[in-house]
Amino acid sequence: MDKVNPDVVREFYNKHDQMWEINNWYKYSQNSIISFLQKQHYTGNILNAGSGGNTYGITSPMIHLDISEEKVKDIEDAVIGNLESSNLLQTNNFDSIICVGSVINYCNSYKVIENFQKWLKEDGDLILEFENSSSFEYLFTDYYDKPMSIVSTNYIDSNHVIYIFSFDYIISLLKLNNFEIIEIAGFHILSSLALRFFNSENFASKFTFLDKFLNKIHYFKKHSANIIIRCKTTSTKV
């Protein structure tokens, strides 16, 4: 198993309607993402990359892009395709790109971030969320803090294969592609440690109230199960 198969990902998401209402862990994840997104200011063209048909409560017009045609079949002007495809969209076309819901964990992260840099206008905003190999969830495993690993997890009663990326690796990819980091937040911090030892997402979610305190300390933020980053293309964009 050396890569995530996009055909398997497409089939999985075409078959499953509800992705967030599984348990308290995922409900909290969704609320954390929505809270981060809704405090941002959006102007111009927005690309919602891997949207799953979800606007996250953003009222500004957006283009939905997803590998699953079922998720966006009722959305006008939606684009069906793989984020790794460089010729999928026009270059220098978007003022903002949103890529959340751990969408990049199904992709070649280098190709996707390179595409985002191409598709964004100069000084465009990228909001990127991902599942983090530096999470305490992987403590004492072979995956912990590795730049990139492939893991098999149980999700919606199915075997689910994803990439996980370390905090430092994603930051380095963003900087390599001329993104300036503006803001970083983590969620599921101490709860990821509880998940590691108790193997219960609902029990681990009892510790999420500590995120608002631990997010103020870089060490703990870096070890969140999920990281969300807002960054901007710099004047050196090519």
pLDDT at 84: 95
pTM for the model stands at 0.95
* Residue 11 structure tokens: 């089939």
CA angle 11, 14, 18 (to 5 degrees): 125
Give how far Cα 136 sits from Cα of 152, 188, 214, 222, 225, Å: 17, 9, 13, 10, 7
Please measure the distance between the N-terminal and C-terminal CA atoms of the chain and give it in whole angstroms. Answer: 35
| Sign of the dihedral defined by the CA atoms of residues 111, 116, 118, 119, in that order | positive
Averages of pLDDT over runs of 10 residues in the chain (238 residues) are 86 84 91 96 95 94 96 94 92 96 96 97 96 97 97 82 97 97 97 95 96 96 97 77
* Residue 82 structure tokens: 């793989």
pLDDT at 177: 96
| Sign of the dihedral defined by the CA atoms of residues 65, 103, 52, 43, in that order | negative
Domains and CATH numbers, the chain: 6-233 (3.40.50.150)
pLDDT at 160: 86
Closest CA to 146 of 122, 123, 163: 163
Cα–Cα distance measured from residue 22 to residue 162, given in angstroms and rounded to the nearest whole number: 18
Closest CA to 136 of 231, 210, 50: 210
Burial of 178 from C-beta contacts in 10 A (0-12 / 13-18 / 19+)? middle
Closest CA to 67 of 115, 104, 26: 104
pLDDT at 155: 81
